């Protein structure tokens, strides 16, 4: 216990038993330079030994210069500050809405009232377990929630609000990747026949034979179509705010990286047809025509298409040809698989798809590359068998 001569010194402390039976240790952080008043803080415990240990740890940290005053913010208060100050200026509206949804639907109800400085790994782990087992949500959902919380707490660590990130000590459930389902060659032929004359025929064709994401093809503008060099410049996507009644906007691509895709002659022929048809629509619509973004794919009045409509028209088509499980994104998978099986190297496929790394492309389409490796081995076997001198085994 500190004596009377040292109790006001920075780092010094006193211990007393409170009327409610708990023990309290008070320690000094020095003096407020503005008011001249002593800055004192308290820690509490059930026993004298407990608070003495806490006090010893704190005074040692003060002496070493590593002391960090506990944040008074609750997790909910910090998440709101983090979203407004650190997330909103740096991400797309859709991403911000996703983060906010995680905070409002999962983090705040479960842990929002917990003080940031008192948040523990077991508390977080318990929340993950309940989401997974009691609410029956997927491992992928837990991983997404963890991603938001981990990022928010990392920022708190950088700002000195907490000493370490407790979410780093949590165990996440294993995410089982869904098998990709590209269309087989015969299915592609049936699909192309089924969309003949459809209002979105050309949009589906371009998606299938370029591998663009849905937002990218819907956000493609004419100034990014180079008919001379047969390339598409992919630098944005059409995205809708997740809020009810949210507006559409052109935003950067998924990983905010632009790319140039050299496309087949047939794709450019389709786009030339789209351009002619759009000019015809413009003449008919006259003053009602409005295409301020200069989009390639529009409705009859030049306005952008809606993701929901394009997707559900696609589902109607594939159900009609017996491919109920096919998703719009499978057109992108189909492009990738056909490219690899046709002999394109992984680096080229990665570039065309806009993946961040070739290793990610290999991870997604590894089964295709395995098939090609077997084909390579078979070709080598044919070469060996064709040698004039037999190979000794």
Can you read off the two tokens belonging to residue 82?
Answer: 């983090």
**Residue indicated by tokens 């589906």:** 204
Q: What is the mean pLDDT of the chain?
A: 89
Is the pLDDT at 33 greater than 80? The verdict is: no
Alpha-carbon separation of residue 206 from 44, 86, 160, 332 (angstroms): 67, 37, 50, 10
> What value, to the nearest 5°, has the Cα angle with vertex 46 and ends 43 and 52?
50
| CATH for the stretch 75-169 | 1.10.150.130
Residue 7 has pLDDT above 60, yes or no: no
pLDDT (average), residues 4-24: 70
**What confidence tier does 14 reach under pLDDT thresholds 50, 70, 90?**
confident
pLDDT for position 26? 87
Question: Which residue did the predictor score with more confidence, 259 or 382?
Answer: 259
> What digits encode the pLDDT tens for the residues 261-294?
999 999 999 999 999 999 999 999 999 999 999 9
Upper half-sphere CA count for residue 130 (Cβ side, 13 Å): 11
Q: Would the pLDDT of 178 be above 60? A: yes
Residue with tokens 């009644």: 245
Over the stretch 125-176, which tens digit does the pLDDT of each residue have?
Answer: 999 999 999 888 999 999 999 999 999 999 998 887 888 899 999 999 988 8
Q: Which of 70, 66, 69, 71 is nearest to 82 (CA)?
A: 71
Rg (CA), the chain: 31
8 — pLDDT class (breaks 50, 70, 90): very low
Structure tokens at 21: 């039976």
CA dist., res. 350 & res. 359, Å (int): 9
When mean pLDDT is compared over 1-5, 32-36, 70-74, 91-95, the highest value belongs to 91-95
Of the pLDDT bands very low, low, confident and very high (cuts 50, 70, 90), residue 240 is confident
Angle made by CA atoms 309, 314, 315, in degrees to the nearest 5:
100
Q: pLDDT value at position 369?
A: 66
With tokens 């917990």, the residue in question is 114
d(CA 186, CA 344): 21
CATH 1.10.443.10 fits 185-374, yes or no: yes
pLDDT tens digits, one per residue of 85-95: 999 998 888 88
304 vs 64, higher pLDDT: 304
Range picked from 41-45, 248-252, 281-285, 353-357 for highest mean pLDDT: 281-285
Mean pLDDT of 311-319: 97
| Cα(165)–Cα(121) distance, integer angstroms | 9
pLDDT over 50 (residue 308)? yes
- The separation between CA 200 and the C-alpha centre of its own chain, rounded to angstroms, equals 28
CA distances from 287 to 207, 281, 301 (A): 30, 11, 9
Q: Pick the residue with more confidence: 81 or 364?
A: 81
Instruction: Report the predicted TM-score, pTM, of the whole model to 2 decimal places.
Output: 0.70
Asked if the model's pLDDT at residue 81 lies above 70, the reply is yes
Contacts of 65 (CB under 8 A, 6+ apart): none
pLDDT at 1: 40
Cα separation, 281 vs 274, whole angstroms:
10
What is the per-residue pLDDT for 70? 65
Average pLDDT over residues 303-327: 95
Checking if the pLDDT of 11 tops 70, the result is no
Cα separation, 285 vs 269, in Å, equals 25
Q: What tens digit of pLDDT does each residue of 181-235 get?
A: 899 999 999 999 999 999 999 999 999 999 999 999 999 999 999 999 999 999 9
**Mutual orientation of helices 75-82 and 139-158 as an angle, nearest 10°?**
80
Half-sphere exposure of 202 toward its Cβ, with a 13 Å CA cutoff?
19
Mean pLDDT over 1-24 rounds to 66
Q: Do the domains 185-374 and 75-169 match in fold? A: no
**Tens digits of residue pLDDT in 326-360:** 999 999 999 999 998 888 888 999 999 999 888 88
Domain spans of the chain, in order of start: 13-64, 75-169, 185-374
- Which of 29-38, 289-298, 362-371, 383-392 has the highest average model confidence (pLDDT)? 289-298
Sheet holding 23-31, edge to edge: 13-17, 23-31, 38-45
- Which tokens hold the place of 100? 């906010």
Percent of the chain with pLDDT over 90: 60
Q: What pLDDT, on the 0 to 100 scale, is given for residue 68?
A: 65
What are the DSSP E strand ranges found in 245-310? 248-251, 259-262
């Amino acid at each position: 216990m500190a004596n009377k001569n040292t109790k006001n010194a920075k780092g010094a402390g006193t211990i007393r038993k409170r009327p409610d039976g708990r023990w309290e240790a008070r320690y000094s952080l020095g003096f407020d330079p503005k008011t001249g008043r002593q800055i004192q803080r308290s820690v509490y415990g059930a026993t004298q030994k407990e608070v003495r240990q806490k006090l010893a740890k704190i005074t040692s940290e003060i002496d070493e210069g590593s002391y960090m005053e506990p944040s008074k913010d609750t997790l909910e208060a910090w998440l709101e500050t983090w979203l407004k100050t650190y997330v909103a200026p740096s991400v797309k509206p859709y991403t911000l809405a996703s983060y906010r949804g995680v905070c409002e639907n999962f983090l705040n109800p479960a842990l929002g009232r917990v003080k940031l400085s008192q948040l523990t790994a077991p508390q977080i782990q318990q929340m993950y377990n309940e989401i997974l087992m009691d609410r029956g949500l997927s491992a992928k959902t837990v991983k997404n929630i963890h991603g938001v919380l981990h990022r928010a707490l990392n920022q708190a660590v950088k700002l000195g609000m907490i000493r370490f990130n407790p979410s780093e000590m949590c165990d996440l459930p294993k995410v089982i990747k869904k098998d990709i389902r590209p269309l087989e060659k015969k299915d592609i032929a049936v699909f192309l026949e089924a969309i003949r004359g459809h209002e979105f025929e050309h949009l589906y064709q371009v998606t299938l034979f370029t591998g663009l994401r849905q937002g990218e093809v819907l956000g493609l503008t004419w100034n990014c179509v180079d008919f001379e060099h047969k390339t598409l410049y992919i630098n944005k996507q059409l995205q809708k705010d997740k809020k009810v009644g949210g507006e559409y906007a052109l935003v950067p691509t998924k990983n905010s990286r632009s790319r140039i895709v050299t496309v087949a002659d047939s794709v450019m022929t389709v786009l030339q047809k789209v351009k002619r048809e759009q000019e015809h629509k413009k003449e008919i619509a006259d003053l009602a025509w409005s295409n301020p973004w200069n989009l390639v794919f529009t409705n009859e009045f030049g306005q952008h298409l809606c993701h929901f409509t394009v997707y559900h028209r696609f589902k109607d088509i594939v159900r009609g040809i017996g491919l109920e499980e096919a998703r719009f994104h499978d057109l992108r998978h189909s492009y990738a698989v056909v490219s690899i099986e046709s002999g394109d190297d992984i680096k080229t496929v990665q570039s065309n798809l806009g993946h961040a790394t070739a290793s990610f492309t290999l991870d997604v389409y590894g089964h295709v590359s395995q098939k090609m490796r077997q084909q390579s081995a078979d070709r080598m076997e044919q070469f060996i068998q064709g040698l004039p001198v037999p190979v000794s085994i």
